[in-house]
Each structure stands twice: as structure tokens, then as C-alpha cells.
Amino acid sequence: MAKLVTIYGGSGFVGRYIARRMAKQGWRVRVAVRRPNEAMHVKPYGAVGQVEPVLCNIRDDASVALAMQGADAVVNCVGTFDKGGKNNFEAVQVEGAERVARLAAAQGVGQLVHISAIGADAESDSIYQRTKAEGEAAILASFPNAVILRPSVIFGQEDGFFNRFATMSKLGPVLPLVGADTKFQPVYVDNVAEAAEKGVLGEAAPGVYELGGPDVETFRELMQGMLAAIYRRRLILNLPFFAANILAGVLDFASAVTVGLFKNGILTKDQVKSLKQDNVVSEGTKGLADLGIKPTAYPAVIREYLWRFRPQGQYDDITASGKNLKV
């Protein structure tokens, strides 16, 4: 019988790419999610019955244990940007990660891959970064041979980075940024998925890997590259951190007083803290090269999926090509 991998959060941005890769490897793939009916898009990744969404709540021992029953490997892709509610930073990124590792060890699972993030730091002022580090520690305490992947900002067709700012660029002549001089090292989502695949297959040595692409650029430079890809000119305005803190505080307060009716998906105070630090691969850490993976640069890839944000959509390229015709 084919081997089985359980991917927690396997219908999300990164998880779906891992699921597709494991299906191509011939593995059975169990995609553990809170709402399986919203994860049906993963089923065509393999043959009939090869990829199956299953119900799982990462905050519940019995639910997590049942989802990994009989699995040869486990991948944890679950994360959050929500500091409130039941699925908050602590519940998901610390307790949830610990639960997956502890139960995987108890069930004798062979391989465990955990998706963390560059910037994970137990001493950080950012709750997000601090809980990422605490989650890693919890993973290693129960499953010392785990493979932990720390990607920089991830780009790809469904990303929440370039797509988000390309959408904002359509709203007016100014594109406001917080931390315009902060450096990032964008990594392609399928490079992250390939790293996870190697972890599942046992082709990656246990330990922490920081994943970044070939380009290290400031937030401003990345947005200039994005604007070039969508043929738009915008004034990039760097919002000072003190002003960003005030704005984020107002938005956080609005979310709190409306008891979630208004969900702050714009800018939180915790995100402002994270944006003060460069998000690049640390010197001397293991990375994509150690896994034999050639990183993909972002400029060519984003042109393939950001075309819909151009003034004339896909017709801009057709028009440009037509100008070169000689009559």
C-alpha cells in the first residue's frame, strides 16, 4: 500500500503545493482542515481517493490524533495572524504545534515537517515571532528529528503579499508602506513545498532551514518591481513607524470593541513590530542550497499571475506585441 502523509492546513497557500507534490510522489495525502467542504480543490491533485480532506481541529488532541492515524509522515502548515479569539497565536502556533509533535511521536510517525517563519525569536517584542519560536521549541522537545522550515515572505499565484499590494495600487496614485526600508528575501511557494517534500521523504537532515530566494530587496524595491509587472506608476509613501503604530492601534481597538464584526486585516500593532526587522536568511544557517534546491526569482513569476491588475489586464501584452507588427 502507498505511504500516507497527513498535512495539517493542507488546503492553504503552502499546504496545497505540498499536497500536490506528495500526490505526484504516489503517496496518499490526508489534508486535515477545519472545514473539509472548503478544501475540495485539493482532490484533483491525485487519482480518485488519493487526496482526501478530513475534519480536524488543531486545538483538540483526539481530532489531531485521528487525522494522523496510520500516517508515515506529518506536515504542519497551520499558522495564524490573529492574536485574539480561540485560534490565537498561542493556541495555534504554540499549543497546536506541540500537540502535532507530541501525538506524532506517540504514534510512531517517521517524519515530521513544520512550517515556521524567518524571524522566529523567543525574545521578540512581536507575539507572532515569539510564538513561532516557542512552537519550534515545543516541536523539538517532543520530536527532536523534526525538519523545521523558516521561509521569508512567500510569493506565488495565491499569495497574500504581491496580490494584496497590487490590489491596493488600483485604489489611488499613492501606495503607502510601513517599513519601506526593511529587507525581504522572497521565496517561491513551490520551493518551500519542495523543501517540505524532501523532509517527508527523509532526504533532509533534521534541523532548522531558513528559506529565501535569490533576491534580497527592501520593501520599497519589491513594490517597485511589482508595479513594473502590472504597468502602473504609483508614489510609494513610507509611513513612519510612530504613525503606523497609531493607525494599527485604532484598527486593533475597532476590532476589539466590535467583538470581531470588524476584523483587522489591514495592519496590526504586532505586524508593525515585525516590520521593524529585516526578513532575510541568517548567515551560516542551512537553506535551500543544502537541500539541493535552486531558488526561483520573483520578477518573472509574478508577471504570470499579476497581469489581472494591469490597466487593460491580459490585453496590455497583446497591445504591446501588436505595436511591433510591421504593416
pLDDT (0 to 100) of residue 325: 67
Buried b (16+ CB within 10 A) or exposed e, 171-187: eeeebbbbbbebbbbbb
Average predicted confidence (pLDDT) for the chain: 95
Residue in the block written with cell 499569495: 159
Assigned C-alpha cell, 28: 496518499
pLDDT (0 to 100) of residue 327: 56
pLDDT (0 to 100) of residue 250: 95
Please tell me the distance from the alpha carbon of residue 37 to that of residue 54, in angstroms, as a whole number: 9
* All domains in the chain, ordered by first residue: 4-158+185-214+279-295 (3.40.50.720)
Q: How many CB atoms lie within 10 A of CB 81?
A: 13
Q: CB burial class (10 A; 0-12, 13-18, 19+) of residue 37?
A: exposed
Q: Is the pLDDT of residue 310 over 70?
A: yes
pLDDT (0 to 100) of residue 188: 98
**E-strand stretches of the chain:** 4-8, 28-33, 51-55, 73-76, 111-115, 147-151, 154-155, 174-178, 183-184, 187-188, 207-211, 217-218, 235-239
Q: What is the pLDDT of residues 221-239, one digit of tens each?
A: 999 999 999 999 999 999 9
pLDDT (0 to 100) of residue 239: 96
pTM > 0.85: yes or no? yes
Q: What is the pLDDT of residues 25-51, one digit of tens each?
A: 999 999 999 999 999 999 999 999 999
Residue 216 Cα distances to 182, 184, 219, 292, angstroms: 10, 6, 10, 20
Do β-strands 217-218 and 183-184 pair in parallel, antiparallel, or remain unpaired?
antiparallel
pLDDT (0 to 100) of residue 109: 98
pLDDT (0 to 100) of residue 102: 98
Please tell me the distance from the alpha carbon of residue 224 to that of residue 298, in angstroms, as a whole number: 12
Q: What is the pLDDT of residues 238-296, one digit of tens each?
A: 999 999 999 999 999 998 888 778 888 899 999 999 999 999 999 999 999 999 999 99
Residue in the block written with cell 508577471: 303
Please tell me the distance from the alpha carbon of residue 69 to that of residue 47, in angstroms, as a whole number: 21
Q: CB burial class (10 A; 0-12, 13-18, 19+) of residue 105?
A: middle
**Strand partners for 209:** 149, 286
Q: What is the pLDDT of residues 135-159, one digit of tens each?
A: 999 999 999 999 999 999 999 999 9
DSSP calls for 205-246 = -SEEEEE--S--EEHHHHHHHHHHHTT---EEEEE-HHHHHH
Contacts of 191 (CB under 8 A, 6+ apart): 211, 213, 288, 293, 295, 296
pLDDT (0 to 100) of residue 156: 98
Closest CA to 148 of 125, 118, 122: 118
**What DSSP state is assigned to residue 153?**
S
Q: What is the pLDDT of residues 73-92, one digit of tens each?
A: 999 999 998 887 889 999 99
pLDDT (0 to 100) of residue 326: 63
